[in-house]
Amino acid sequence: MTQPTEKEIEKRAYEIWERSGKPEGREEEFWRLAEQELRNEDKSSPLRTPDSL
């Protein structure tokens, strides 16, 4: 499983922050959410099938 890059996490965290109304002081929360979302996407990737594991 590949880990999301810092740049990917940063981009996703920014998107989540914008959707949430741009609240201040919750950077770590959005970073963790972004990281988790990206990891979950990797697990559901169509490239990762039982035959290719």
pLDDT of residue 24: 96
pLDDT of residue 3: 86
* pLDDT, tens digit, 9 for 90 and up, residues 12-28: 999 999 999 999 999 99
pLDDT of residue 12: 97
Tell how far CA 38 is from the center of its chain. Answer: 3
**CA–CA separation, 32 vs 43, rounded Å?**
17
Q: Where are the alpha helices (DSSP H) in the chain?
A: 6-19, 27-43
Domain ranges of the chain: 1-15+28-41
